Structure 1
Amino acid sequence: MPAARFTALGDSFVEGRGDVAADGSYIGWARRFARRMGVAAQETRNLGAYQATTQVVVDTQLHQALVRKSPLIGVIVGVNDLVQDYAPDRFAVNLRTIFGSLAGLDTTVFTASYPDIPANLPLPAEFRDLLRARFAYANDVLREVCSETHTLHLDIAADTDWSGRELWSADGLHPNTDGHDRFAEDMADLVERASWLTAA
């Protein structure tokens, strides 16, 4: 089996939940991104899994991604750590393991910041504030790791379009079709700009 040209690792955001095809399968940003980048379906490998944490990625997905490593790799993971399995030191170590392992001169690795998902959820104010503090910490760690590993970083947390409900599905946790499409387009733009700068 030939190596994939694009591999995506992570949780249900990567799996594609919230963006459902007519046959009931998930489309998702990863498939949309691959099409935008001219990567065929058979050259795309999506390892995203529902409820995956950073520990799940380290334990089960990272090895698969490193075997016949793709030249283009996307990683979106961490929200499940923040909302249901919170251990800040482990979270930071796992992010460094994931992005440090994937980094390399022959690979473009990209990720995105954690948007204000707590704002989308029906939560008591105190718990929402607690989650927002966790998300802020996670974004600080992610920025450091991206800088250390030369990982491309799309800062959707700073994009006001992601702070409303228009790009989110009814559950508030997953992008809807418009959200997945917007994410794919913005990420493709970031990767293409970085490729152009590198080539220059």
Structure 2
Amino acid sequence: MNPLLMPIVAAQGIWARKSIKILPPAAGPTTGSAGDTAGGTAVRLAVLGESTAAGCGVDAHDDGFPGSLARTIAERTDRPVTWEAIGQDGATARRIRYKLLPRLGEDLTVAVLLAGVNDVLGRRSPAQWTEDLGAVVDELGKRAEHVVVAGIPPFMAFPSLPGTLRRYLSQRAEALDAASRRVCAERPGALWIGSADIMPVGPDFFSEDRFHPSAYGYLRWAQGIADHLPLTAAA
């Protein structure tokens, strides 16, 4: 970005931090199930990451990304799905690596990582992101048959952010996404799925804080991820 625009970015960043009232994480159980238990071998799903894994924007995890993805997998495979969610609002890849990942279960079928927004906001470099992401993906690979790294949501679509700030954050997110693609390409069993291309972002996609997804937004995001999962990929 043009260095002359950086004072505008800084001013808009201060405005955004003061004006955006972020909704709290989802309440209630962080585990659940979907589908008919008589449908065959259960799919064990885990969702790990930042505020979207913590369910900010919805009242319960069942209405957030974990529950939405579990129901989508169950519907497409006719298999029961058990899920767990481990997330923290504000978590960077570094915190996920050292604080959240050790709490994750083992013998998983699918592990999905939702991360990157806070690394962008915290101005962490692609090198720092790559180091932490690689360690997280390596550990997830020991715990799950399939590891999915979801791309960073498109900042350009966030209605809560001013235009210049959105462009700046989008450029930083693109650099981290490029690093994510490399990390996953180097590891068999790891899959990077871009979020910008699969999110049909519209007015009803966001919750009332205009920063996190609504229940509908989480559902559409989960369905887009499921379209690319080895278990449920559309023909």
User: What's the TM-score once normalised by structure 1's chain length?
Assistant: 0.79
Give the % identical residues.
Answer: 24
CA distance in 1, matches of 2:166, 2:71: 37
Q: Which residue of 2 aligns with 1:27?
A: 63
Q: Which residue of 2 aligns with 1:107?
A: 145
Tell me which moved more, 170-179 or 73-82.
170-179
3-state SS in 2 of match to 1:5: strand
Is 1:6 aligned with 2:45? yes
Greater helix share, 1 or 2? 1
CA distance in 2, matches of 1:160, 1:196: 17
Greater strand share, 1 or 2? 2
CA distance in 2, matches of 1:105, 1:70: 6
Is 1:46 aligned with 2:85? yes
Runs of 4+ aligned residues of structure 1 deviating over 6 Å after TM superposition are: none
Amino acid across the alignment from 2:64: G
Q: CA deviation at 1:80?
A: 0.6
Work out whether residues 155 and 166 of structure 2, in 8 Å CA contact, stay in contact via their aligned partners in 1: no
Work out whether residues 117 and 153 of structure 2, in 8 Å CA contact, stay in contact via their aligned partners in 1: no
Q: Which residue of 2 aligns with 1:128?
A: 166
**Gap regions ≥5 residues in structure 2:** 1-42
Q: Which residue of 2 aligns with 1:60?
A: 99
CA distance in 2, matches of 1:49, 1:156: 20
Q: 1:142 to 1:172 in 2, by over 3 A?
A: farther
Is 1:91 aligned with 2:120? no
**Cα RMSD (Å):** 2.7
Work out whether residues 115 and 152 of structure 2, in 8 Å CA contact, stay in contact via their aligned partners in 1: no
Please tell me whether Structure 1 or Structure 2 has the larger radius of gyration of its CA atoms: 2
Work out whether residues 199 and 221 of structure 2, in 8 Å CA contact, stay in contact via their aligned partners in 1: no
Q: Which deviations, in whole Å up to 9, do the C-alpha atoms of 1:139-173 show, x marking residues without a partner?
A: 101111121123223222124623x4441223332
Amino acid across the alignment from 1:12: S
Q: Which deviations, in whole Å up to 9, do the C-alpha atoms of 1:83-131 show, x marking residues without a partner?
A: 1352332111111111122125961111221232244233362x33321
3-state SS in 2 of match to 1:36: helix
